[in-house]
Amino acid sequence: MEDWLSTGAGHGAVDATPAPAVLVTVAIVEGSVPREPGARMLVDAVRQWGTVGGGHLELRGAETARAMLASGERRRLERFPLGPGLGQCCGGVVHLAFELADRAHLAALAARRREDSWRLVALDGTPDAALLDADGHVVHGSAPAVPAFDRTGGTHVLRDETGRRWLADLAAAPRAHLMLFGAGHVGAAIVRALADLPCRVTWVDERDDLFPAQIPHNVAVEATDTPEALAQHAPAGTSFLVMTHSHALDQRLAETILKRPGHDWFGLIGSATKRIQFERRLLERGVDRARLDAMVCPIGVPGIEGKLPAVIAVAVAAQLLMVWEAAALQERI
């Protein structure tokens, strides 16, 4: 699926065409629904990017957006009962916000993908809109009187003191961060597998010529001959994958990562035999036994045995999603 926002590589909606388009956002949900508040899609006269849940709801959303393009309507908030109205088995209610897309606004949002942002969009009256940082300061656009709103939750609809409705839409930066060492075939396949997932990837290798010309929007490349320093100073909570061209470098990186404070997830490509060899060497170098026990080697979810890079990438991506979703759940408890 193509990104509803700019990827910076010519594959996102902002990059694709200057044609008028409508941004559709899940604004309010009631009961069982296919997507959460803040899910979005961008719709022009012939194409759409992103998804608000698929099925009849998405079809009706796209039809409504195209009707707005034809009529010149700029904003709308519409309620869709999924069961009686659309025949979808989940049976809840979704309120979709429709707004004529301001591409400068979306480009500013795309430039802030690594930071939390709020879009505040008037749904009634003058089509005011502003982009705010996590502290509520306007960083793009303007509104004559930006109303106060709750920044402790997610996307929602509010009314200001005059009764005017506003969409407060949280565009949260991904919390999951992977530091991936190795730009070989498997590393490249993992980067491709993670390209559309809610995570950030720091991709590290000393061989600059191995990195592809097109890099996914959620990936930052680090071409360095001192990768251990990046591992040592990575933020707490970073996940690590090591799969370089050198077993000696793999071992140095493993030692650096396992001696970090905390309990960051660490995966090392290799067989059970490689694990045994590394455990012995790393114990001799003072790595704690408990940290070695937590080291994941071989990598990938159990039951997938294929050795093709794309197969390994799917198994590892699934494993990382399990790790990251468990961490997110723990934060909410």
Does residue 13 have a pLDDT over 70? no
d(CA 123, CA 247): 58
Does residue 207 have a pLDDT over 50? yes
Q: Which distant-in-sequence residues (6+ apart) come within 8 Å of 283 by Cβ?
A: 289, 292
CATH fold for domain 176-332: Rossmann fold (3.40.50)
d(CA 305, CA 326): 24
Q: In this predicted structure, what is the pLDDT of residue 331?
A: 76
The whole-number average pLDDT for the span 9-22 is 64
Q: Tell me how many degrees the CA angle 185-189-195 measures, rounded to the nearest 5.
A: 145
pLDDT tens per residue across span 238-271: 999 999 999 999 999 999 999 999 999 999 999 9
> Could you tell me which residues are beta bridge partners of residue 291?
none
Which residues of the chain form CATH 3.40.50.720?
A: 176-332
Predicted model pTM: 0.84
The token pair at 244 is: 């370089």
Say if residues 313 and 180 touch (Cβ distance below 8 Å). no
Phi and psi of 98, rounded to 5°? -115, 135
